[in-house]
Structure 1
Amino acid sequence: MAISFEAPNPVLRIFDEAKAREFYIDWLGFSVDWEHRFEPGLPLYMQISRNGLLLHLSGHHGDGSPGIVIFQPMHGLAEFHAELTARGYHSLRPGIVAQDWGKEMTITDPFGNRIRFCERDAH
């Protein structure tokens, strides 16, 4: 069998489930695919997704370090920005910045993790 890789699923450390849901589900528009707890009262581990982007959110100590950066290539950045602006978020108003490689919009979650959404320029 030939070696092949699939797209990675970044694990982002979260510290507050309500804040994570407000940010990722309510504002960014992700859907919850599944949730897992080893037993009631233990930390949440869940997968969320939106249009092909899969993220894992974990409340478990040792799963990820706050402050990571995900560079996420995409199409439709202006539309995504307009959607987020219309929906509004109480402590974040991201903009689109032109870079040498394309346009970027960086968002920072309530736990210090950053996602750089990038639409590359066509050459």
Structure 2
Amino acid sequence: MTLFKNQITAFHVSDMQKALDYYVGVLGFTKDWEWQHAENFPVFASVSHGEHTLYLTEHRECAPGGLVYLYFDSPQDVDLRSQFIQEKGGTTDFGPIDQAWMLREVQVSDPFGNKIRFCARLPAGGEK
């Protein structure tokens, strides 16, 4: 049996240019591609960062307000991502914080209410 290779989350956005400005300009993603069937049709785009890909869509099949966890290799990477976002003028909802469930997390919300938690596993005993 073939196992799933990857998973991609799709977020609903109501303004693709505003979404791309946020995901590329503030969060540091790269725009992979953008597609629109015809003028005045909804836009669909792909952004990525490392091994993580997100789809952004103006189509209505996604409800706004989704949540995705994006994992980094180390807790320090979470701290660096938080710092990067703040340097680009972004804000965080919370964190970085070491959670009781052994993850360091920082959460951001895009302009459309979708949430991303950047996280990394903490070593046994926690890490400061």
Compute the TM-score of the two structures, normalised by the length of structure 2.
0.86
> Where does structure 1 lack aligned partners over 5 or more consecutive residues?
none
Opposite residue 31 of structure 1, the aligned amino acid is T
Cα distance, 1:34 vs. partner?
A: 1.1
Cα distance, 1:77 vs. partner?
A: 0.8
Opposite residue 6 of structure 2, the aligned amino acid is A
Compute the TM-score of the two structures, normalised by the length of structure 1.
0.89
Where 1:96 maps in the other structure, the secondary structure is strand
Q: Distance in 2 between matches of 1:60 and 1:83?
A: 30
- 1:120 is matched with which residue? 121
Cα distance, 1:93 vs. partner?
A: 3.7
- 1:71 is matched with which residue? 69
Cα distance, 1:117 vs. partner?
A: 1.0
What are the within-5 Å matches in structure 2 for residues 61-100 of structure 1?
61-62=60-61, 64-75=62-73, 76-89=77-90, 92-94=91-93, 95-100=95-100
Q: Distance in 1 between matches of 2:44 and 2:21?
A: 16
What is the identity percentage for the equivalent residue pairs of Structure 1 and Structure 2?
27
Q: Which stretches of structure 1, 4 residues or more, deviate above 3 A after TM superposition?
A: none
Where 2:70 maps in the other structure, the secondary structure is strand
- 2:2 is matched with which residue? 3
| C-alpha contact 2:42 2:58 (8 A) present in aligned 1 | yes
> Where does structure 2 lack aligned partners over 5 or more consecutive residues?
none
Where 2:4 maps in the other structure, the secondary structure is coil
Opposite residue 60 of structure 2, the aligned amino acid is H
Residues paired across the two proteins, number: 119
Where 2:46 maps in the other structure, the secondary structure is strand
Q: Distance in 2 between matches of 1:71 and 1:46?
A: 19
Where 2:41 maps in the other structure, the secondary structure is coil
Opposite residue 78 of structure 1, the aligned amino acid is D
What are the within-5 Å matches in structure 2 for residues 11-90 of structure 1?
11-62=10-61, 64-75=62-73, 76-89=77-90
- 1:107 is matched with which residue? 108
